[in-house]
Amino acid sequence: MASDMYAVVLAGGGGTRLWPLSRRARPKPFLPLLGAESLFQLTLRRLVPLIQTEDTIVVAEQGHLPLVSEQAPELLSRHLVGEPVGRNTAAAIALAALTSQRGPEEVMIVLPADHFIADEAGFRSVLSAAANAAGDGSLVTLGINATGPETGYGYIVGGEGAVSEHGARHVDRFVEKPPRERATKLLADPRGAWWNAGIFVWRHDALIDGLERHAPAIIGPIKRGLEAGQSLRSIYEMLPDVSIDRALLEPASLEGAVRVVPTDVGWSDLGSWDALHRALAGRSGSLDGVVAVGRAEDLSSQGVLTHSSGGRLVVTVGLRDTIVVDTPDVVLICASDRAQDVRAIVDRLAEAKETDYL
Amino acid sequence: MASDMYAVVLAGGGGTRLWPLSRRARPKPFLPLLGAESLFQLTLRRLVPLIQTEDTIVVAEQGHLPLVSEQAPELLSRHLVGEPVGRNTAAAIALAALTSQRGPEEVMIVLPADHFIADEAGFRSVLSAAANAAGDGSLVTLGINATGPETGYGYIVGGEGAVSEHGARHVDRFVEKPPRERATKLLADPRGAWWNAGIFVWRHDALIDGLERHAPAIIGPIKRGLEAGQSLRSIYEMLPDVSIDRALLEPASLEGAVRVVPTDVGWSDLGSWDALHRALAGRSGSLDGVVAVGRAEDLSSQGVLTHSSGGRLVVTVGLRDTIVVDTPDVVLICASDRAQDVRAIVDRLAEAKETDYL
């Protein structure tokens, strides 16, 4: 290992399309989507033994810190970083770095708290390789092996230059969510193209230097505000809402400072019920695609996810490609190919001021 | 009106295919299938003003009498007849007649407590006509206008002979649930064929005479047992389990004593969730066949029944021909064309001794 490592877990993200399980008071990272443990808890546990819990920092909205403590009481309380409002990933990562009291050569691993990874040992191997590749000061991203020209993800495009001994490749540029035709072209690029999962590995000093060069409007106010003893709320009011991809990685890639480590570990962002269904069906190896979280009985269905966290028995008979989500106060039944439309139901309830259900 | 009338409402029938709403402790007649009121309550109310509640007798299992009183506190308590065990309709009707203290010329209307009738005024008109036709001592049945060669019902086949001024026709014979081919042939019979809904109209004395001629093994033990002050349990132990159709109407029809009044009132036996769906969709005139009992929201589904009695919001998105039943401890989601298979789920739970759900 090149040096000491620590993790910054970003526990934001609402997950509207995972309604009715996800609610304003308990967003996606804190949901037991896969069973007993929440995605956040699984994210922490997946890092061990590569990174211990005492080396893990969590950034979340202040209002969600009680959930963080409840779900991970083993975290050091000084490692809980509460944001007064969400200001996207650039601010969250800069704040975590500046308050982390870590040495310049230590390697920071940034990762979202709401993803699924089937091959956990493989994932830790990739992180180790990325940490080694980051030893020279490169900004390293994981590049998810694309399974198709999805339009919902950002893409990382490979560049010229030798592959490092750790498997890291040069990055030519980042492309934000492309239309399908462009995604297909990107994947045909002989230099390689991967999905951007928002998982980054870099030395602490490389991050700070990069932010000072490319994103002074973010790191500047935070650094000066912390030194002056300003409240986070007043600091955050001055910050732009911008992702770390756009604030740091895109400009740094133009200078040849970014590397990508291709990653094939059964990743999913679990962005919708349909994505959860695919992740669980893959894990269980279910032939008929009938998978259940919670108590369920089925008779001759195909392609059904039942997710029961309301304590009830969910019984399905003769269904095809359907998602059933049971919660204490709402039951959702949705055609799998309409999983994106869950958002429209949430919008409708918000318009009707049905706040109990939001 | 030919004479005074009274009603005998048979509140038996489990309704396994209406699980998980129907349970052993609260079978079909006592369920609020159509909304606020139970089928039993709707049955009583549908009779008024033809027959008042004080002229209505209810036969139910003894264990269900508390449900009867709770749902119809206006019934006279001497009109609640509790059976120690179910012994089918012949025993229930004989017991009601012998304990009714009604005059020989009074007209008894027998009807199940678990049917749906869309045209309630039309139904009362048919009953009036049937009561008039019963004035000469005929045993009169209602014959439901068949909408297709259903195999789940018994058929009444018309006979030779003039149609009475009340629209009653001679009955040639009864046919128990026929296979489809035979049902199709029956419906092509120029003399007419109708579904048997188990709704009968006859003079009190005609019923007693008929039972004494054709079913002495039923009326005999009840009459003698009641006179001797025997317990109903010991009387019932001696009775055969046979329907009134088979015990009385089939043999009486061979003697030309039975009449049928054709009936077109939007009848359904609500035998399964699918049947309930059709009855409700017909009543609501819903173009897309999306109907709800209880709190529900839908986005672009077609042919969906949601039945929520668990107090939860049921949300459906993009479904086709699906039934959703939400209860406090079970949620059922069933393809409409598999509604008959609900029984198989109940059997499976019974085998697994999941008695909480039965």
DSSP string, A220-234: HHHHHHHHTT--HHH
**Residues B218, B247: contact at Cβ < 8 Å?**
yes
Task: Report the residue from B297, B330, B348 with minimal CB separation from A345.
Answer: B297
Cβ neighbors of B278 (< 8 A, separation 6 or more) are B268
Mark B27-49 as b/e (b = at least 16 C-beta within 10 Å): bbbbbbbbeeebbbbbbbebbee
Beta carbons within 10 angstroms of residue B306's beta carbon: 28
Task: For residue B328, list chain A residues with Cβ-Cβ distance below 8 A.
Answer: 312
A1 has pLDDT over 70: no
The burial of A5, by beta-carbon neighbours within 10 Å (0-12 exposed, 13-18 middle, 19 or more buried), is given as buried
Hey, are the CB atoms on B322 and A299 less than 8 Å from each other? no
Q: What is the pLDDT of residues A270-309, one digit of tens each?
A: 999 999 999 998 877 777 899 999 999 999 999 999 999 9
ipTM: 0.87
Q: What is the pLDDT of residue A3?
A: 54
Residue A349 sits at the chain B interface (C-beta within 8 Å): yes
Q: Closest residue of A to B298, CA-based? A: A345
Task: Report the residue from B317, B324, B329 with minimal CB separation from A313.
Answer: B329
Task: For residue A344, list chain B residues with Cβ-Cβ distance below 8 A.
Answer: 299
Beta bridge partners of A263: A144
Looking at residue B78, the DSSP 8-state letter turns out to be: G
Residue B340 sits at the chain A interface (C-beta within 8 Å): no
Residue B350 sits at the chain A interface (C-beta within 8 Å): no
pTM assigned to the model: 0.88
User: Where residue A57 falls among pLDDT bands split at 50, 70, 90?
Assistant: very high
Task: For residue A329, list chain B residues with Cβ-Cβ distance below 8 A.
Answer: 312-313
Task: For residue B340, list chain A residues with Cβ-Cβ distance below 8 A.
Answer: none
- Work out the minimum CA distance from B329 to partner chain A, whole angstroms: 5
User: Where residue A164 falls among pLDDT bands split at 50, 70, 90?
Assistant: confident
**Residues B162, B138: contact at Cβ < 8 Å?**
no
Beta carbons within 10 angstroms of residue A69's beta carbon: 14
Task: For residue A330, list chain B residues with Cβ-Cβ distance below 8 A.
Answer: 312-315
The SS3 of residue A91 is helix
Task: For residue B335, list chain A residues with Cβ-Cβ distance below 8 A.
Answer: 317-320
| CA dist list (Å): B259 to B18, B118, B253 | 33, 24, 8
User: Where residue A187 falls among pLDDT bands split at 50, 70, 90?
Assistant: very high
d(CA A354, CA B147): 43
d(CA B85, CA A352): 51
Q: What is the pLDDT of residue A165?
A: 82
Q: Closest residue of A to B299, CA-based? A: A345
Binding-face residues of A in 254-313 toward B, CB within 8 A? 297, 299-300, 308, 311-313
Task: For residue A309, list chain B residues with Cβ-Cβ distance below 8 A.
Answer: none
Q: What is the pLDDT of residue B35?
A: 84
- Work out the minimum CA distance from B342 to partner chain A, whole angstroms: 8
Which superfamily does CATH assign the domain made up of A5-268 to?
A: Spore Coat Polysaccharide Biosynthesis Protein SpsA; Chain A (3.90.550.10)
Residue B358 sits at the chain A interface (C-beta within 8 Å): no
Q: What is the pLDDT of residue B1?
A: 43
Residue B347 sits at the chain A interface (C-beta within 8 Å): no
The burial of B228, by beta-carbon neighbours within 10 Å (0-12 exposed, 13-18 middle, 19 or more buried), is given as exposed
Residue A358 sits at the chain B interface (C-beta within 8 Å): no
Hey, are the CB atoms on B315 and A348 less than 8 Å from each other? no
**Residues B83, B92: contact at Cβ < 8 Å?**
yes
Q: What is the pLDDT of residue B166?
A: 81
**Residues B297, B306: contact at Cβ < 8 Å?**
no
The SS3 of residue A322 is strand
Beta carbons within 10 angstroms of residue B211's beta carbon: 25
**Residues A318, B333: contact at Cβ < 8 Å?**
no
B242 phi/psi in degrees, rounded to 5: -145, 145
Cβ neighbors of B27 (< 8 A, separation 6 or more) are B12, B13, B14, B15, B64
**Residues A157, A172: contact at Cβ < 8 Å?**
yes
Task: For residue B299, list chain A residues with Cβ-Cβ distance below 8 A.
Answer: 338, 341, 344-345, 348
A291-293, strands of its sheet edge to edge: A291-293, A302-308, A320-326, A330-335, B313-317, B296-299
Task: For residue B16, list chain A residues with Cβ-Cβ distance below 8 A.
Answer: none
Residue A320 sits at the chain B interface (C-beta within 8 Å): yes
Q: What is the pLDDT of residues A20-43, one digit of tens each?
A: 999 988 899 999 898 889 999 999
Task: Report the residue from B315, B334, B338 with minimal CB separation from A331.
Answer: B315
Hey, are the CB atoms on B317 and A335 less than 8 Å from each other? yes
B32 is written with which tokens? 């609020």
- Work out the minimum CA distance from A42 to partner chain B, whole angstroms: 29
Looking at residue B2, the DSSP 8-state letter turns out to be: -
Residue A343 sits at the chain B interface (C-beta within 8 Å): no
Looking at residue B258, the DSSP 8-state letter turns out to be: E
* Alpha carbon of residue B20 to chain centroid: 20
Hey, are the CB atoms on A297 and B345 less than 8 Å from each other? yes
d(CA A194, CA A260): 9
Task: For residue B315, list chain A residues with Cβ-Cβ distance below 8 A.
Answer: 20, 330-334, 345
d(CA B112, CA B43): 8
Q: What is the pLDDT of residue B164?
A: 84
Show pLDDT as tens, one digit a residue, over chain B (358 residues).
445 999 999 998 788 999 999 998 889 999 989 888 999 999 999 999 899 889 999 999 999 999 999 999 999 999 999 999 999 999 999 999 999 989 999 999 999 999 999 999 999 999 999 999 999 999 999 999 999 999 989 999 999 888 888 889 999 999 999 999 999 999 999 999 999 999 999 999 999 999 999 999 999 999 999 999 999 999 999 999 999 999 999 999 999 999 999 999 999 999 999 999 999 988 777 778 999 999 999 999 999 999 999 889 999 999 999 999 999 999 999 999 999 999 999 999 999 999 999 9
Which helix H or strand E contains B43, and what residues bound it? helix B39-47
Q: Which residue has the higher pLDDT, A234 or B288?
A: A234
Would you kindly state where each structural domain of chain B is located, as residue ranges? 5-268, 286-357
B172 phi/psi in degrees, rounded to 5: -85, -50
Q: Which residue has the higher pLDDT, B311 or A124?
A: A124
Residue B357 sits at the chain A interface (C-beta within 8 Å): yes
Q: Closest residue of B to A302, CA-based? A: B335
Q: What is the pLDDT of residues A92-120, one digit of tens each?
A: 999 999 999 899 999 999 999 999 999 99
Q: Closest residue of A to B354, CA-based? A: A313
| CA dist list (Å): A277 to A116, A118, A337, B344 | 12, 13, 12, 26
d(CA A297, CA A314): 6
